[in-house]
Amino acid sequence: MTDTPLSEPTALLRSPGLTLFDGPAGDPATLAPGSFGVVGMPSDWTQSSRLGSRMGPRALRRATSEWVASLRIQNEDAWVDPQTTSAWRLRTDDWLLDCGDAHIDATSVERTTESIALMTEAVRLRDAIPIALGGDHYNSYPACLGYSRAFEQRQPGKRFGYIQIDGHLDFADKLGAWGTHNHATNGRRNSELPNIARENMVWIGITGWVDGGELEQIEGMGGKIFSSGDVHRLGATAVAEQALAHAMRGCDHLYLSIDIDAMDAGFLPGTGSIVHSGITPHQYCAILDVLAAAPIDGLDIAELAPSLDPSGRSERIAAHMLLRVLWNHILQPA
């Protein structure tokens, strides 16, 4: 199932950046209940714009591991949050297991889809929470598909809520030459999953001009859209709280899809489909801070294209997004 050889070198010789948050690597079958299982999705063959997000999983692993390494070097014991003055330390138990990358077949979107879905399903069936690393945003669909299959087995008859932070709706039925399965259709394909609460689906950060038909369909099915303009006007925290309330109506579980391109390109240029007037890093963090307390048990982050930002800023911002949404799991009170 995994494409990347992940050995278990000694702690001393371990190469930082091989795994997310420099965590342990292993097979999904060894995941502890309640932990997080990382699934890499290094594919951008379903992106119609600038390529490069196939290198996203590696960059996220590198950037999160750099952060962990910096904490270890600077703070042997505990670390103080300057905003709250609370003391924290990195969790030392196996809260996370990096399961490597799904097998990607550039010639077959169907095989790539199944490969990713198998891994996120396997993670969730262990009562662990999949963190799927894109890749272009199409890969959110196979990640959510696997989550949905496991959800049906674990909670038959129940439905889950869904929030997508994104500069774009990704709700097209098909996109020109790319057909029905690509980075403009993942939201639509997710909405067709049998146990997603369609009327609870929420988008945050949509920017600019969108297709009228897609907008009508989303609002017609009861979904809710918060534009980046809404975030600027209402405030990020208020928008996130309203979004969460909408998504969780009658649901106990939430799937979160993070497309980093919702952030304004002035801050984050390393992505395939940039937007202007998008949400700022501060706003993005405020949104994720609210969602960090939500019952998320499936998560993907997509569209980081490190080759488009040689400065490394975009991957560090994306890593920080993961940090914010996983804050309560990565750290524990000292």
Per-residue contact track with another protein, 127 to 156, x per CB under 8 A? ------------------------------
Nearest residue (CB) to another protein, 266 versus 295 = 266
The residues that bridge with 133 in the sheet, in sequence order, are 40, 301
Q: Which is nearer to another protein, 162 or 171 (CB)?
A: 171
- Radius of gyration for the chain, computed over Cα atoms and rounded to the nearest angstrom: 18
Under the binding rule (CB under 8 A), the answer on residue 50 touching another protein is yes
165 in Cβ contact with 204 (< 8 Å): yes
Only one of the segments 3-11, 34-42, 112-120, 311-319 lies at the binding site for another protein (rule: CB under 8 A); that segment is: 311-319
Q: Which is nearer to another protein, 237 or 277 (CB)?
A: 277
Residue 22 amino acid letter: D
279 contacts 317 by C-beta, under 8 angstroms: no
Query: 115 vs 227, which CB is nearer to another protein?
Result: 227
What is the longest distance spanned by two Cα atoms in the chain? 56
DSSP code for 330: H
Contacting residue, 14, 16, 49, 75, with another protein by CB under 8 A: 49
Among 163, 197, 225, 330, binds another protein (CB under 8 A): 225
Is position 270 an interface residue for another protein (rule: CB under 8 A)? yes
Instruction: Centre a 10 Å sphere on the Cβ of residue 38 and count the other Cβ atoms it contains.
Output: 28
> Residues 286, 234: contact at Cβ < 8 Å?
no
Q: Is 30 left (phi over 0), alpha (psi -120 to 50) or beta?
A: alpha
C-beta neighbour count of 334 within 10 angstroms: 13
220 interacts with another protein by CB under 8 A: no
At its nearest, how many Å lie between another protein and the CB of residue 16? 23
Contact status, residue 306 vs residue 297, Cβ threshold 8 Å: no
Among residues 6, 14, 48, 87, the one that binds another protein under rule CB under 8 A = 48
Residue 233 found at the interface with another protein (CB under 8 A): yes
Q: Does residue 177 belong to the site contacting another protein (CB under 8 A)?
A: yes
Q: Are strands 202-206 and 161-165 parallel, antiparallel or unpaired?
A: parallel
- Residues forming contacts to another protein in the complex (CB under 8 A) are 48-50, 172-178, 206-213, 215, 225, 227, 229-230, 233, 264-266, 269-271, 274, 276-277, 307-311, 313-314
